[in-house]
Structure 1
Amino acid sequence: MVKKLLLTLLILIVLVIAGIIALVVFVDPNNFKGYISETVKDKTGYVLTIEGDLRWHVWPQISILTDSVRLVDEGAKKPLLTADNMRLDVELLPLFSKQLTVKNVLVKSAIINISDDSKGQVAQNGKPTTTVNQKTEQNTDAKKPSNWRFTLNKLDIVDSTVVYQKDKDIINFRNIDLSVTQKDEKHVSIDFSGSVNRDQKDFIYALNADVNLLHFPESAEVVLNKLDYNYKGVGEAADQLKGQVTGTFNYQKTPMTMHSNDFALILNGNKITGKLQANLDKKPYFEGIFTSDKFDLTPFTNPNKISDNVNTEQISRKQPVVTSTPAKGNELSFLNNFDAKFSLSVNEVLFKKLVINQLVVNLSNKDGIATIEKADFDIANGHINAKGIANGKQSTTLIKLATKITDIDLGSLLSQLEMVNNLKGQLNANGNVVLTSINPDNIMKSLTGDLGMAVNNARFDNINLQQIVQDAVAKFWKKAVSSDDYQKYTSLHELSANATLANGDMNLSAIKAASSTLDMNGSGRIGLDKHDLDINLLVKILGGWNQDSKTIQKLQKVEIPLRIHGKFDQLQYQVNTDKLVSDVFNDKIQNELERLKDRLNNKLKDTSSDTKNNDASDNNGDDEKEKVKDLIGSFLKKNKSKNKE
């Protein structure tokens, strides 16, 4: 039994070898040369030129090898494709029945040129000059149909380059690997990967899709199983952009449209789903409705950005120096390339520790100017609403927003922004804001605009403004200050200001603040980018004094200058007491001097009326005069040195 099996196997091996020998001896591959070119011409309209002779290759696959090949659109100045060689993997047995069944066409190291010079009749007319169904009777000079039948199962283009030229702009698509597999007569599978390198920016992609060509070229259905992508660029805001795109896309030729009802995009771990429709007939027009449950903006900032607090000299010793030109021009110029209408809703948006809820954005783009019809979201227990425009037509980036802020909890907001959160209260504001950059690292510095602001139930923790001022007053008159214990905060039932944004700063004017014991006004600056401030206030202390007198009444009316400055976590306070002394305590000193003068005069009268006393009595009068002089000198000395009485 074993011998019979071995004998059968041996016979089969002999037959295969004999068939291969017969193939090489009796079938000349150059017979297919003209036939292959004619088939490509009939199917596509392109002219395939094969240089040199065809030859057999029998191991590990029965193949036909060629020398260099060129694919040209008739009438074009340059070939669409050039390659050093091409390999056709064929099936053995169909060859004996005059059927050329090609399992795979492999083109390696090809250069595919997509430019105006490579466009000919097919590209201009959108169809081949001949068709495969054309009857021989239509052309009396037509060649006699070949007895061979052609079948192609797979096309591979590997390790190739695509050169795309639009006017003077040239983009090279490198490392191209393309595989087109025919599943049946009207269905193909496509695997496509490669990379784009330009201006120190790299875009790597890999695509897998199934295409239904049942009604092609009028329409087609593309099931995009996945499109993986990875983008890296020197000097970009984000370290990298990577993710995946999936969806089913339905294509229509006239008018040229494409739509998807199950579009899904994953970008740096964030997933967006929705519906997308595109009209590509003339200027592209896109319309989409997108939703996302959660979107984290943190991965879009560059973690390798050097902080202002880091020693740049130490960094330079550790890292190579990369020279690059800062980005110039309008970051929104891409808006000129298409018109669009989009709607986006996200349940939760994160940026580091900042949390935004129920984000809704509706916008439209027409001729490079995007109209933000609605931008609403909840943040820090409050709400922000904005409307405006984004201009991509001018030379620089410009976004204008009319903004309304309602009941933002400042304590929660500052905590999420990782800033010192000593300020509490509900912020309300109205005004216009302008952005000149969409780079997340530059947004704060690019902000300009004017806002009217008010804070309800404001409270400054770890600072008591009344105590700071009254401690300064106590240096001149300790009895004027109440001995009550002070709270470790300042509460205000009213706090408002006008704000102007510029260069990362919020400049404040018309500051007004009031409580039961304080009345303040002033101006200043808050550094949103550097996290510092410099505020100058005029403070009236309405309560907390020890007694009711003319001096206290004056103290309640005088405006005492108070300066608050420094980093948010290292604030310093400075009280200017010059006005306090000139307006209040000069009168007090004058009154004291008048009283002392009266006492002195009384003493002098007493001593002069007793001139008849003896020498001992005269000595006592002299002693009284010396005591009065000492008293006046002591008082003046105390007030001059501003010691406590």
Structure 2
Amino acid sequence: MKRVITTLAILLVVIVAGMTALVLLVNPNDFRSYMVKQVEQRSGYRLEVGGDLRWHVWPKLSILAGRMSLTAPGASQPLVTAENMRLDVNLWPLLSHQLSVSQVMLSNAVVRATPESAAQQPHNAPVAPGRSEASAPAGGWSFDISQLRVADSLLIWRQPGGDEYNFRDFNLNLNQDARHQATIALSTSLTRNQRNATLSLKGQLDAAQYPHRLSGKIDELNYALSGANIPPQGVKGTLSAQGSWRAETQQFALTQMQLSANDSALSGSASGTLTAPQQLALQLHATQLNLDNLMSGAPQSSERGAQHATVARAPVIAAPRVQNNSDSPLNDVNLALDLKADSAVWRGLTLQSFALDATNQQGLMTLRVLSGKLGDGDFSLPGTVDIRQPETRVALQPVLHNVAIQPLLAALALPQTLQGNVSLNGDLGGEGLTLEAAKRQWRGEAQLRASDVKLAQINLQQMVRRAVERASDKVSSDEGADQGIRQLEGDVTLDNGVLRFDRLQGEGDRLRLQAAGAVNMAQQQLDVTFGLTLSGWKGDERLTALLSQQPIPLRMYGSWNNVQYSLPVDQVLRQQLQSEAKSRLNEWLDRQPKNSDKENLRKLLRP
């Protein structure tokens, strides 16, 4: 045992002495020109390393360098600059005075993926007759290294003619084998237009055909979004997919996508290009899609006993940036979206078999299909949304069939005063895409048909019966089971928040109805008059005949929160009695001989 320990001690001393001698005898600055030459020969990139190179022996044998930069051929800005660079080297090649780098680590680096940092062709370079993949030389890595680490850095990304995006806290770990099969781990954050995004990624990369092609797999991508025009709780989730990238055409493709966003789960594929204008095609299927948790304007549930976080207000330093359509990324992309959801939630409504087939041409969105089932009914909402101007312009052709009225009113933040089902065929449009804009700035018309309509907490038939019985004790009516309005139909118009209807007609059991008036959604006012004709009266024959034929006016007006009623039954009866009395008196006068008193009396009876 003593001999083994002694042998190990001697071996350790030899190794330490050898490394010490190696560090003393080999000057790392001798490799500066070698590194610069190798990088330029293999890739054409120009490497600059500032300051003296020095050894670092623990925990790995490394060469430490100061500021460095890497510039593409013909580029006006370097692709990479870093304050510190560390090269982990293999020991044995150093014995023959050869440099073998196992890992490159950059700290506080700036990575520019911009047109200014991209490789440029010389002005007098010959132009090939055509671009093809066969003419491009098959290349591997620009610089063969097994490990690359970038820590606490900044990635600047910008496409030609596009906006610049600064990805901060950029960290990258990349390990590759001899076949250029790599594992990758990346994390970064982005702040733009008062929105924050963070992401972390773990995956695999096949770079055997780099720089022409890349393919790989995203094992797990975690993301989180917060800020302006994003729900208060933010949007966060995960993504996994198979992916590929072609540098010549700037094309990418994602397949076998599994995406989660808050409590929504989607699967599908995506493809597109990053050349201007950018192209993106999405095919998605969702088992559950909760739009209320993904949209900033969705209503928030206020369940009793729910806990609400207290948000401290930050001090106001400057006026917030005004958001407008110029901030939308849809202005710079052509999008094709095919989305289907087994179940979706929008403003508290549960939608089944939801389908959206839409395109976007640099700000002009066309909703070719926007449909689904809602309860026992269904809906379709094709149209266009134009965000190419500062004010969004909307044109929709809604079609509803047998949709429950009360949940729909709740979703539109309107008083839930009606019950029943509605069918509608309309043409609407205006400025703005929010619910408030629709209530104030939209215009259009629609044909409406409703069934089994009831006014919440109001029984029209009962109000008329009791008013008639108070006005006269000669008639009565049985208060049978109220069946509401069995059928109601007519035309309605919308003009900047004022909903008008001139000739609504309906009927129910022992009821005929006519209605006209307006509802001002912006001012929350209404003025509606119903003409109600009831049957089933008993008592005086003349009064029962009158009430069965004469519409009785019921006016509802005022604020939504304090509706006023007017039901002048006694006035209707009085006018009818006066008319009947005049009619009988005229008949009596017709039977009398002519004289001056008769003519004077007839003049008095004239209205």
Which TM-score bucket, shorter chain as reference?
A: 0.7 to 0.9
Match of 2:508 among 507, 512, 515: 515
* SS across alignment from 2:391: coil
Q: Contact 1:249–1:258 (CA<8 Å) still a contact in 2?
A: yes
Within a 5 Å distance, the mapping from 1:36-47 to structure 2 comes to 36-47=35-46
Residue identity opposite 2:72 in structure 1: D
1:498–1:304 CA distance, 2 compared to 1 (3 A): closer
Q: Is the 8 A contact 1:271 1:295 kept in 2?
A: yes
CA deviation string 1:140-174 (max 9, x = no partner): xxxxxxxxxx9522111111123345669543221
User: For the structure 1 residues 318 and 546, does the alpha-carbon distance in structure 2 shift closer, same or farther, using more than 3 Å as the test?
Assistant: farther
When structure 1 is superposed on structure 2, of 323-332 and 465-474 the one drifting more is: 323-332
Amino acid at match of 1:543: S
**Which deviations, in whole Å up to 9, do the C-alpha atoms of 1:505-543 show, x marking residues without a partner?**
64433222223433322224457789x663522424332
Equivalent residues of 1:45, 1:122 under 8 A apart:
no
Match of 2:286 among 275, 281, 292: 292
Alpha-carbon distance, 1:6 to partner: 1.8
Does the 8 A contact of 1:186 with 1:213 survive in 2?
Answer: yes
What is the correspondence of 1:112-127 to structure 2 with a 5 Å cutoff?
Answer: 112-121=111-120
- Aligned mates of 2:122, 2:202 — CA distance in 1: 26
| Letter in structure 2 aligned against 1:451 | A
Shift of 1:358: 0.5
Q: Which amino acid aligns with 2:88?
A: D
What is the CA distance between 1:290 and its match in structure 2? 1.6
Aligned to 1:162: 155
Q: What SS does the corresponding residue of 2:75 show, helix, strand or coil?
A: coil
- 1:399 is the counterpart of 2:391: no
Matches within 5 A, 1:9-20: 9-20=8-19
Q: How does 1:126-165 map to 2 (within 5 A)?
A: 152-164=145-157
- Report the Cα distance in structure 2 between the residues aligned to 1:206 and 1:442, rounded to whole angstroms: 38
Question: 1:446–1:94: structure 2 CA closer, same or farther, 3 Å change rule?
Answer: farther
Relative to 1, partners in 2 of residues 1:299 and 1:132: Cα closer, same or farther, differing over 3 Å?
Answer: closer
- Aligned residue in 1 for 2:109: 110
CA distance in 2, matches of 1:190, 1:539: 74
Query: Does 2:468 correspond to 1:476?
Result: no
Mean Cα displacement is larger for which, 318-327 or 247-256?
318-327
Q: Cα distance 1:520–1:321, how it changes in 2: closer, same or farther (>3 A)?
A: farther
Distance 1:192 1:492 in 2: 63
Matched residue, 1:346: 341
The answer for the alignment partner of 1:456 in structure 2 is 451
Task: Identify if the C-alpha distance between structure 1 residues 75 and 16 changes in structure 2 by more than 3 Å, giving closer, same or farther.
Answer: same
Counterpart position of 1:30 = 29
One-letter code of the match for 1:79? P
For residues 363-393 of structure 1, give each alpha carbon's deviation from its aligned partner in whole angstroms, at most 9, with x where no partner exists: 2334543332222210021111232223233
What is the distance in 1 between the residues matched to 2:311 and 2:226?
24
Per the TM alignment, residue 105 of structure 1 is displaced from its structure 2 partner at its CA by 1.2
Counterpart of 2:367 in structure 1 is 372
Query: Counterparts of 1:209-248 in structure 2 under 5 Å?
Result: 209-234=203-228, 236-237=230-231, 239-248=233-242
Which residue number corresponds to residue 423 of structure 2?
Answer: 428
Higher helix fraction (1 or 2)? 1
User: How do 1:595-606 residues align onto structure 2 when only pairs under 5 Å count?
Assistant: none
Q: Distance in 2 between matches of 1:503 and 1:302?
A: 24
Max Rg structure = 1
Aligned to 2:484: 491
The answer to whether residue 541 in structure 2 is matched with residue 546 in structure 1 is no
Question: Is residue 8 from structure 1 mapped to residue 1 from structure 2 by the alignment?
Answer: no
- For the 8 Å contact 1:331–1:438, the answer to whether it is kept is no
Question: Of 575, 588, 594, which residue of structure 1 is paired with 2:567?
Answer: 575
Taking only the aligned residue pairs, the percentage that are identical comes to 25
Does residue 359 (structure 1) correspond to residue 354 (structure 2)? The answer is yes
TM-score (norm 2): 0.81
**Is the Cα contact below 8 Å between 1:289 and 1:343 reproduced in 2?**
yes
Q: Deviations over 1:49-99 (max 9, x none)?
A: 111221111222211111211222343333333222211122222311344
- Please give the alpha-carbon distance, in whole angstroms, between the structure 2 residues aligned to 1:93 and 1:265: 47
- Kindly state the Cα deviation for residue 422 of structure 1 after the two structures are TM-superposed: 6.0
Distance 1:219 1:318, change over 3 A: closer
1:266 corresponds to: 260
Q: Which residue of 163, 170, 173 maps to 1:176?
A: 170
**What SS does the corresponding residue of 2:423 show, helix, strand or coil?**
strand
- The 3-state SS of whatever aligns with 2:242 is strand
Which of 61-70 and 77-86 deviates more?
77-86
The reply to whether residue 59 of structure 1 matches residue 54 of structure 2 is no
Q: Distance in 2 between matches of 1:227 and 1:446?
A: 41
Give distance in 1, aligned partners of 2:319 and 2:539: 69
Give yes or no for contact 2:225–2:234 (8 Å, CA) kept in 1: yes
In the TM superposition, residue 468 of structure 1 has moved relative to its aligned partner by 1.2
Residue from 555, 559, 573 that aligns with 2:551: 559
How many residues are aligned here? 567
What's the counterpart of residue 589 of structure 2?
A: none
Distance 1:421 1:234, change over 3 A: closer
Partner of 2:184: 190
Which of 576, 579, 584 is the aligned partner of 2:576? 584
Residue 382 of structure 2 corresponds to residue 387 of structure 1: yes
Gaps of 5+ in 2: 126-130, 303-308, 587-607
Shift of 1:585: 4.6
Distance 2:507 2:571 in 1: 21
Q: Is the 8 A contact 1:225 1:247 kept in 2?
A: yes
TM-score between both structures, scaled by the size of structure 1: 0.77
Q: Distance in 2 between matches of 1:392 and 1:6?
A: 79
Cα deviation, residue 570, structure 1: 7.3
Moved more, 407-416 or 374-383: 407-416
Relative distance call for 1:330 and 1:132 in structure 2 (3 A) is closer
Whole-Å separation in 2 of the counterparts to 1:252 and 1:168: 20
Q: Is the 8 A contact 1:466 1:541 kept in 2?
A: no
Structure 1 unaligned segments of length 5 or more: list them.
135-149, 309-314, 595-645
Gap change, CA 1:162 and 1:467, over 3 Å in 2 = same
Cα 1:256–1:86 shift into 2, 3 Å? closer
Cα distance, 1:151–1:557 mapped onto 2, change above 3 Å? closer
How far has the Cα of 1:297 moved from its partner? Answer: 1.5
Which secondary structure state, in structure 2, belongs to the residue aligned with residue 75 of structure 1? coil
Q: In 2, Cα distance between the equivalents of 1:552 and 1:386?
A: 48
Residue type of the partner of 1:493?
R
| Counterparts of 2:260 and 2:27, CA distance in 1 | 53
Check conservation: 1:540, 1:557, Cα contact below 8 A.
no
Q: 1:24 is aligned with what amino acid?
A: V
Q: 1:320 to 1:443 in 2, by over 3 A?
A: farther
Tell me the CA shift for residue 233 of structure 1: 1.0
Report the equivalent of 1:603: none
SS of 2:466's partner is helix
Match of 1:637 in 2: none
* RMSD across aligned positions (CA): 4.0
**DSSP 3-state at the match of 1:110:** strand
- Partner in structure 2 of residue 92 of structure 1: 91
